[in-house]
């Protein structure tokens, strides 16, 4: 059975709806070992086991040391180099130092101060949705992709006129993050996108060094806390990480509300429930389904051996539906309490932008429902195929 788990997940059916596969994985305990020759040594999907591996110092992200063991050819690819220079693939003291810089910039105190700006942008975008006069509108392009791009653009200091060029480049770059094989064509396109984004940010950093403004890039440009390649890689990656993840939280969230009228009624009746509603969206239908780590020494997870140098596939989205942790895990229930999900991962790589993503979700969904009390799906959304950045390409909605 175990040989087929990865095949099942990556099949057409598995990609469209991985939850039946997750449910069967849970019947086999918290971890399944995969046979020798598999891409990963094990799949970790039980809630407690996922938390343990993500926090275990013997498991690392796929850093340069890991990649070099296979081949050093990755160094010729700007997209992979960018990821390797960023927080995502860093570890140890260097990671801690870089996280201090970005942790401050996106911590909860800072995010509270950003709320008026998020509200202003939200209301502006809602005005534009109202312009359609109740005709079907694609929520993704007209709202969900705009809000996070404008918010992260404001925080970093990316001028509004430049933001239109981001969605395509970000999408192309992000293709390298997906689970399973990627084609050389996708990798080359991601390389080009990474080079364009890096040179864009290099120009902006130089401009802010010459004439600082009241934005994060000016602060980072004036500091010597990070080397230039690390600064640029993290600017590219922070923009990307804060963009389509949050857009998918908004799209997945609105879709869940439109298909669960009780949840929509409850949010309309009491906007203060937006926070628990967002947590339940993140548990039930998270924008990111997995993380990968490798063992830096021979070890085990829940009795399943993981030899040094082998990877484990950590299914955070499956952990969010673990029946031993959540009562009735396949029910979308925004009134759920004790909702400890792994949508933002855990441990040393816990999402730097969690407070910002949560604030955007809370403000956007509550204000949207207050402004348009009776939104309705105008067409079924297209199927979803991705495990990383899982969201709707289109979401046609009538805003009434």
**Residues of the shown chain interacting with ligand HEM in the complex, contacts defined by CB under 6 A:** 61, 87-88, 99, 102, 106, 237-238, 241-242, 245-246, 249, 286-288, 291, 343-345, 349, 351-353, 356-357
Residues 250 and 364: beta-carbon distance below 8 Å: yes
CB of 314 vs ligand HEM, minimal distance in Å? 8
CB of 92 vs ligand HEM, minimal distance in Å? 12
DSSP label of 381: P
Residues 366 and 267: beta-carbon distance below 8 Å: yes
Ramachandran area for residue 157 (φ above 0: left; ψ -120 to 50: alpha; else beta): left
Q: What share of the chain is helix, strand, coil (3-state, %, to 5)?
A: 60, 10, 35
CB of 124 vs ligand HEM, minimal distance in Å? 19
Compute the half-sphere exposure of residue 334: CA atoms within 13 Å on the CB side of its CA.
25
- Residue nearest ligand HEM by beta-carbon distance: 353
CB of 146 vs ligand HEM, minimal distance in Å? 14
Residue 136 or 347 having the CB closest to ligand HEM: 347
Residue 106 or 294 having the CB closest to ligand HEM: 106
Residue 177 or 261 having the CB closest to ligand HEM: 177
Residues 217 and 223: beta-carbon distance below 8 Å: no
Residue 291 or 313 having the CB closest to ligand HEM: 291
Helix (H, G, I), strand (E, B) or coil at 159: coil
Report residue 323 as tokens. Answer: 């029946």
Residue 62 or 205 having the CB closest to ligand HEM: 62
Residue 56 or 376 having the CB closest to ligand HEM: 56
Residues 313 and 290: beta-carbon distance below 8 Å: yes
Helix (H, G, I), strand (E, B) or coil at 311: strand
CB of 36 vs ligand HEM, minimal distance in Å? 25
* Total residues belonging to the chain: 400
CB of 359 vs ligand HEM, minimal distance in Å? 9
């Amino acid at each position: 059975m175990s040989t087929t788990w990865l095949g099942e997940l990556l099949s057409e059916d598995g990609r469209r709806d991985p939850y039946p596969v997750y449910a069967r994985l849970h019947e086999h305990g918290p971890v399944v070992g995969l046979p020798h020759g598999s891409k990963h040594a094990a799949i970790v999907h039980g809630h407690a086991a996922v938390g343990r591996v993500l926090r275990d110092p013997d498991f690392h992200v796929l850093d340069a040391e890991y990649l070099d063991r296979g081949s050093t050819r990755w160094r010729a690819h700007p997209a992979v180099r960018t990821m390797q220079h960023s927080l995502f693939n860093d570890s140890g003291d260097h990671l801690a130092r870089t996280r201090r810089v970005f942790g401050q910039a996106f911590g909860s105190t800072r995010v509270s101060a950003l709320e008026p700006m998020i509200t202003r942008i939200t209301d502006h975008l809602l005005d534009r949705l109202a312009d359609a006069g109740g005709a079907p509108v694609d929520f993704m392009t007209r709202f969900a992709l705009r809000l996070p791009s404008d918010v992260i653009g404001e925080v970093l200091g990316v001028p509004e006129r430049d933001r239109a060029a981001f969605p395509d480049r970000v999408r192309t770059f992000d293709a390298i993050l997906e689970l399973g094989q990627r084609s050389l064509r996708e990798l080359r396109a991601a390389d080009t996108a990474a080079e364009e984004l890096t040179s864009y940010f290099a120009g902006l950093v130089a401009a802010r060094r010459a004439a600082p403004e009241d934005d994060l890039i000016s602060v980072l440009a004036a500091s010597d806390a990070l080397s230039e390649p690390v600064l640029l890689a993290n600017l590219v990656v922070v923009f990307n990480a804060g963009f389509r993840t949050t857009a998918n939280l908004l799209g997945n969230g609105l879709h869940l509300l439109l298909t669960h009228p009780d949840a929509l009624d409850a949010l309309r009746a009491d906007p203060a429930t937006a926070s628990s509603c967002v947590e339940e969206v993140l548990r039930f239908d998270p924008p990111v389904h997995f993380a990968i780590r490798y063992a830096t020494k021979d070890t085990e997870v829940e009795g399943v051996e993981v030899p040094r140098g082998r990877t484990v596939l950590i299914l955070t989205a499956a952990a969010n539906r673990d029946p031993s942790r959540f009562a009735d895990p396949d029910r979308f229930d925004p009134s759920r309490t004790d909702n400890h999900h792994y949508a933002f991962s855990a441990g040393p790589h816990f999402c730097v932008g969690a407070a910002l993503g949560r604030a955007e979700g809370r403000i956007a969904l509550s204000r949207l429902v207050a402004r348009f009390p009776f939104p309705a799906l105008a067409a079924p959304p297209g199927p979803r195929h991705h495990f990383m950045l899982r969201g709707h390409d289109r979401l046609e909605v009538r805003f009434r």
